[in-house]
Amino acid sequence: MSPRSRILLYAVLLVLCVPFVFPTWWMVTSSLKPNAEIFAYPPRLWPADPSFDAWRQVFTMQPFAEQYWNSAYIAVVVTLGTLAVAAPAGYAFARIRFPARNALFLVVITGLLVPSEVTIVPLFRMFNALGLVDTHWPLILVPVFGAPSVLATFIMRQFFVTLPVELEEAARMDGLGRSAIFRRIALPLAKPALGAVAIFTFLHSWNQFLEPIVFISSKEKYTLPQALTQFTDVYQGPLWNVQLSAASMTAIPVLIVFVLAQRQFIEGLAHTGLKG
């Protein structure tokens, strides 16, 4: 491309980025403003007197550090658990021939068609009978063995289908069994798909809202989406700058995860879903 064409391309891309970047910019800058300035007209793109008072109030109004830790460790455990379930399941559906394999895979995939709102009441009754309500176990077990894991299994299966069969045949000639082929050949080659699954799963767990408000009632056990609703004044009206401060802190791990794993994410999308 000529320098003029490159500059024009970058200018167009910059304009197209504005609708996606501006809400994040507004969230962060508004968290540094007093409430009155947030609704000032004309709006200010940068606070007149930036202040981190709202950021400090986040930790005084709620046990926010503990709630932050709750979301972080739950998201990590759910991500690792989903990878541990989806990777071997996807490989089995892609490579191992067993009776009614396609029919069983179809049954598994239909789990994506069932809304979480339909199953939330039976799940609550089940976990209540087990004495696990107001614990973090439902927030871990439901995603690992529910719809997020089904989607992850589908992505992994689609990736393993694309691997050349000759790789496994050569491994068998070298004396490797099925489990060794999976661990030493298929799994290392599946890093792009694993990266995509990890990002999808982490974001789903980090942002889940329905399950926490159903299963969790103690503030110290809240996750971040549930905690964000609690920053209100005495009249239950929203404290906008405090909520935006908490939301800005909540978005930081999501941005870090995507920046660090964006290459695997893009490669994973490019290599999955191409073959049935």
- The neighbouring-strand residues paired with 238 are 232
Helix (H) or strand (E) holding 27: helix 3-30
The pLDDT value given to residue 264 = 65
Residues 240-257 pLDDT 10s: 999 999 999 999 888 887
pLDDT of residue 272: 54
Q: Which residue do the tokens 């401060």 mark?
A: 245
Assess contact for 117 and 213: CB atoms under 8 A.
no
Q: Read off the pLDDT of residues 219-239 as tens digits, 9 standing for 90 and up.
A: 999 999 999 988 887 777 888
Q: Residue 117: what residue type?
A: E
The tens digit of pLDDT for each residue in 32-71 reads: 998 888 888 888 888 888 889 999 999 999 999 999 999 9
Sequence letter at residue 256: I
Q: What is the CA radius of gyration of the chain?
A: 23
User: What's the confidence (pLDDT) of residue 144?
Assistant: 93
Q: How far apart are the C-alpha atoms of 218 and 67, rounded to whole Å?
A: 11
Helices 64-95 and 191-207 pack at an angle, to 10 degrees, of 140
Q: Domains in the chain, start-ordered, CATH in brackets?
A: 59-271 (1.10.3720.10)
Q: Where are the alpha helices (DSSP H) in 31-136?
A: 35-38, 53-61, 64-95, 101-109, 116-129
Higher pLDDT residue, 77 or 115?
77
